[in-house]
A and B are shown apart, each in its own frame.
Chain A
Amino acid sequence: MTITDTTPILGRPALATPPRRSRKPVVHVFFGDLAATSLTVATGFLLLSMIPAINWAVFDANWTTGDPATCREGGACWAFIAAKFRFIIFGVYPPDQQWRPLVVMGLIITMVLASLSPRLWGRKLAYGWVAAIAAMLTLMWGGVLGMALVPTSSWGGLPVTLLLALLSLGLGFPFAVFLALGRRSKLPVPRLLSILTIELVRGLPLVGLLFVASILLPLLLPAGWTIDKLGRTLAALTVFAAAYLAEVIRGGLQGLPPGQVEAAKALGIPGWKTVWHIVLPQALQKVIPPLTNTAIVMVKNTSLVLIVGVFDMLSASRVAATDPLWPAPYVESYVFVAAIYFVICFGISNYARWLESRVQARTYR
């Protein structure tokens, strides 16, 4: 052995790169052992059993039709969706005014896209949202700037769904923060009030809450007072969202090490500034997954408003399917609406995953 020999003591040269993992052969992946084989067979059967559904939905489907009555022969009647598209999306909103909800949806999408990056979160964006919501409601209502007045009873479809989801979560969130902080407060009155509110609302089914808001509330109000039905529905959804969000946020608050508040105290940072700048940002970051969960559930919960007669997207699709000209294409209607819900919820879920990975990139401990 010469002096220049750099062979390590174990006799093999040191590896400069990690060893490459040998790939398993494909057959091995699918039929390697009993578990893999049974999974492959089961998946195969599942796929085979889906063939009729795929045939119905795609290959035998009628995409266009001249005669609605025969549209459903053989497969799905997607021509129905094409014909009723505007009705499902906009409900009974006056057709000549439907550019207004269209602009509202454009506004919602623009604002949501503008709010995606946490870098832009701040006072300006908050003002932007307030202005945008005011603009949306003005557009929907009308009665000013030469726009015809459209009462909330004529609102409908996707804009109602989006507005209810957005406003119930947006208005519910600040309440939720107060409820969560209240529940952890040392002062007995805020704590008991918070616990009472949260537990009461969580103990009621949303359907019950919606009935209370739409039927009981008008009876309880003094004579001559009226609150719009859509407004009452929104209030019920907001309270519901707030109670659930509050418990999620409380989880984040409890996960925060006490040292954070101690450090803030030692630095002389006033209490509410500590909450706003130190406690909440960290607590909320910890609970992004369950917050997402609540947001998705609330988007879908808005469909329950149909039982108190608010005309959201799901209601519109049901009404569309009752048109006697068409052969009762309920399945097509529901599949279409489900697809829209899926796109919204899948979007929320992916966005949350991205937010989380951004947080992890800073290697939080």
Chain B
Amino acid sequence: MNHALTSAAISIAALNKWYGNFQVLKDINLVVAPGERIVICGPSGSGKSTLIRCVNRIEEHQAGSISVNGIELDESLRNLDAIRREVGMVFQHFNLFPHLTVKENCALPQILSRGKRRKEAEEFAMHFLSKVRIPEQAEKYPGQLSGGQQQRVAIARALCMSPRIMLFDEPTSALDPEMVKEVLDTMIALAEDGMTMIVVTHEMGFARKVADRVVFMEGGEIVEINEPNRFFDDPKQPRTRHFLSSIMH
């Protein structure tokens, strides 16, 4: 295995995926360096969510290879488990566990998948809830919180597992406009701490400010990858230009 691949945080090579006969991912190649922040954008149905969901096998791919911090995502359950330890994920619809309090949401996964003691898990939970600035909501249930607060809990829950890479699947798309900022601020703080991040989002302001590289996808393929200033000011591909003109108003 060559050195560049093993030192990469995530390396995706010749990735293909089909739903039935419909090809959702076509020959995707992407290498993410440790500490790098990648923003993936593109029209809906372009395969961007599917791509990051393949990284921790929430979705299965049919051809190509994915490795995370040198661990190959193959049929071995041990590798899958190891990769899921490295990777945290934040979903569009939060996916908090509604029957558990905020604190339990953060503590229980640590107990169940890492075998931590309850006391330690709860301390960890409170630490990260403070970090996303909602420790006072710890005893409430997710349904009692606003969307922005729920998404911050979801981020805290993922951070409790001490991931080295975070995947964000349209984290602000289900939020009311006035709540987008609090979630983006949390993500910016995370980026400043040096977390490796892949963010699927339509928040172009965030992309410009935080991303090291922006990936544009359409029709299941990567159309263009560039650093943000060049991507927004001087896109190379006509499809990118067309997409940008349709979302910038």
Binding site for B on A (CB under 8 A): 257, 259-260, 262-270, 273-274, 277-278, 281-282, 285, 362-365
**A260 to chain B: which residues have CB within 8 Å?**
95, 97
B91–A259 contact, CB under 8 A? yes
Instruction: Give residues 47-98 of B contacting A (CB, 8 Å).
Output: 56-58, 81, 84-85, 87-89, 91, 93, 95-98
**B112 to chain A: which residues have CB within 8 Å?**
269-270, 273-274, 277
B95–A262 contact, CB under 8 A? yes
A363 vs B99: C-alpha distance when bound (angstroms): 10
- With beta carbons under 8 angstroms apart, the residue of B91, B98, B109, B161 that contacts A364 is B98
Which chain B residue lies CB-closest to A361? B141
Q: What 10 A-B pairs come out closest when comparing CB atoms?
A: A263-B95, A266-B89, A259-B95, A268-B84, A267-B109, A268-B113, A363-B143, A362-B141, A273-B112, A269-B112
**B95 to chain A: which residues have CB within 8 Å?**
257, 259-260, 262-263
Could you list 26 examples of A-B contacts with CB < 8 Å?
A: A257-B93, A259-B91, A262-B91, A265-B57, A265-B58, A266-B56, A266-B58, A266-B84, A266-B87, A266-B89, A266-B91, A267-B109, A267-B113, A267-B158, A267-B161, A268-B84, A268-B85, A268-B161, A269-B109, A269-B113, A274-B112, A362-B98, A362-B143, A363-B143, A364-B99, A365-B98
Which chain A residue lies CB-closest to B104? A277
**B143 to chain A: which residues have CB within 8 Å?**
362-365
Which chain A residue lies CB-closest to B97? A278
**B56 to chain A: which residues have CB within 8 Å?**
265-266
B97–A263 contact, CB under 8 A? yes
**B23 to chain A: which residues have CB within 8 Å?**
none
A249 vs B56: C-alpha distance when bound (angstroms): 30
Which of B85, B91, B109, B142 gathers most chain A CB within 10 Å? B109
Q: Tell me if B157 counts as interface (CB < 8 A to partner A).
A: yes
B99–A282 contact, CB under 8 A? yes
Which chain A residue lies CB-closest to B87? A266
Q: Chain B nearest CB: distance from A136 CB in Å?
A: 32
B113–A266 contact, CB under 8 A? no
- With beta carbons under 8 angstroms apart, the residue of B81, B97, B108, B141 that contacts A268 is B81
Query: Residues of B within 8 Å of A, CB-based: how many?
Result: 28
**B158 to chain A: which residues have CB within 8 Å?**
266-267
**A365 to chain B: which residues have CB within 8 Å?**
98, 142-143
Instruction: Give residues 135-187 of B contacting A (CB, 8 Å).
Output: 141-144, 157-158, 161
A57 vs B196: C-alpha distance when bound (angstroms): 80
**A273 to chain B: which residues have CB within 8 Å?**
112-113
**B91 to chain A: which residues have CB within 8 Å?**
259, 262-263, 266
**A274 to chain B: which residues have CB within 8 Å?**
112
B144–A362 contact, CB under 8 A? yes
**B99 to chain A: which residues have CB within 8 Å?**
281-282, 285, 362, 364
**A267 to chain B: which residues have CB within 8 Å?**
84, 109, 113, 157-158, 161
A262 vs B108: C-alpha distance when bound (angstroms): 16
Chain B 101-121, CB-CB to A under 8 Å as 1, else 0, gives 000000011001110000000
**B109 to chain A: which residues have CB within 8 Å?**
264, 267-269
